[in-house]
Amino acid sequence: MSASAKPLLQVQRLSAQFTRDAVVSQVVKGISFDIAAGEAVGFVGESGCGKSVTARAMMRLAPEGSSVELGGVVRFDGQDLLQLREADMCDIRGQRIAMVFQDPMTSLNPVLSVGAQIDDIMRRHTGVSRAQARRRTVELLGLVGIRDAARRSEDFPHQFSGGMRQRVLIAMAVSCQPDLLIADEPTTALDVTVQAQILRLLLRLRQELGMALMLITHDFGVIAGMVERVYVMLDGQIVEAGAVDDIFARPQHAYTRALLDAVPRLESAGRLMP
Amino acid sequence: MAEARSIVDPALDTRPIAEAPPARKRRHLLLALGIAMLLAMLLVTALGPWIAPYDAIATSPDSLAGPSTQHWLGTDSIGRDVLSRLIIGGRTTLLITFVAVSLAVAAGLVLGLVSGYVGGLADELIMRGLDIVFAFPVFLLAIAVVAALGPTVPNLILTIAIVYTPIMARVVRAPVLSVKRWDHVEAARSVGVGELRIAIVHVLPMVMSPILVQTSLTLANTIFTVTALSFLGIGPPPPDPNWGGMLSEARQFMELAPLTVIGPAVAIVFATLTFIVLANGLRDLLDVAGH
The overall average pLDDT reported for chain A is 88
Using an 8 Å CB-CB cutoff, list chain A residues near B184. Answer: 106-110
Provide residues of A within 8 Å CB-CB of chain B. 59, 61, 63-65, 90-95, 98-99, 101, 103, 106-112, 120-121, 124-125, 169, 172-173, 175
Residue type, A70: L
**Total residue length of chain A:** 274
CB A240 within 8 A of CB A232: yes
In this structure, are strands A97-100 and A180-184 parallel, antiparallel, or unpaired?
A: parallel
Condensed to tens digits (0 to 9), the pLDDT of residues B9-25 reads 666 666 555 555 555 56
| SS3 track for B195-211 | HHHHHHHHHHHHHHHHH
User: Distance of CA A34 to CAs A13, A77, A183, A207, Å?
Assistant: 11, 12, 16, 19
* Alpha carbons A17 and A36: distance in angstroms, whole number: 27
Smallest CA–CA separation between B81 and chain A, in Å? 51
CB atoms A125 and B192 under 8 Å? yes
Beta bridge pairs of residue A232:
A44, A240
Our CA dihedral for A130, A134, A136, A138, rounded to 10 degrees, sits at 180
pLDDT at A238 exceeding the cut of 80: yes
* Alpha carbons A19 and A24: distance in angstroms, whole number: 4
* Alpha carbons B222 and B219: distance in angstroms, whole number: 5
Mean pLDDT (whole number) for B162-170: 92
* Alpha carbons A98 and A42: distance in angstroms, whole number: 16
CB atoms A106 and B189 under 8 Å? no
The SS3 of residue B240 is: coil
The overall average pLDDT reported for chain B is 84
Mean pLDDT (whole number) for A185-193: 87
Mean pLDDT (whole number) for B254-282: 88
Instruction: Give residues with Cβ within 8 angstroms of A194, minimum separation 6.
Output: A162, A163, A166, A187
Using an 8 Å CB-CB cutoff, list chain A residues near B116. Answer: none
* Alpha carbons B83 and B19: distance in angstroms, whole number: 47
Nearest C-alpha neighbor of B284 from the set B23, B27, B22:
B27
What strand order describes the sheet that includes A79-80? A23-35, A9-20, A67-76, A79-80
Instruction: Give residues with Cβ within 8 angstroms of A130, minimum separation 6.
Output: A119, A123
* Alpha carbons A165 and A60: distance in angstroms, whole number: 25
CB atoms B192 and A90 under 8 Å? yes
* Alpha carbons B190 and A59: distance in angstroms, whole number: 7
The SS3 of residue B126 is: helix
Burial of B17 (0-12, 13-18, 19+ CB in 10 A): exposed
In this structure, are strands A229-234 and A23-35 parallel, antiparallel, or unpaired?
A: unpaired
- Which stretches of A30-185 are DSSP H helices? 51-58, 86-92, 114-126, 130-143, 149-152, 162-173
Fold of the domain built from segment(s) B30-36+79-286:
MetI-like fold (1.10.3720)
CB A233 within 8 A of CB A51: yes
DSSP letter string, A71-82: EEEEEETTEEGG
The reported pLDDT for the residue numbered A156 is 93
The reported pLDDT for the residue numbered B25 is 61
Sketch out chain A's domains with CATH numbers: 9-261 (3.40.50.300)
Condensed to tens digits (0 to 9), the pLDDT of residues A33-84 reads 999 999 999 999 888 888 889 998 898 887 666 678 888 999 998 899 999 9
CB A240 within 8 A of CB A252: yes
Please give the share of chain A, as a percent, with pLDDT higher than 90.
50
Mean pLDDT (whole number) for B48-69: 77
CB A26 within 8 A of CB A17: yes
Of B7 and B105, the one with more pLDDT: B105
CB A175 within 8 A of CB A16: no
Using an 8 Å CB-CB cutoff, list chain A residues near B207. Answer: none
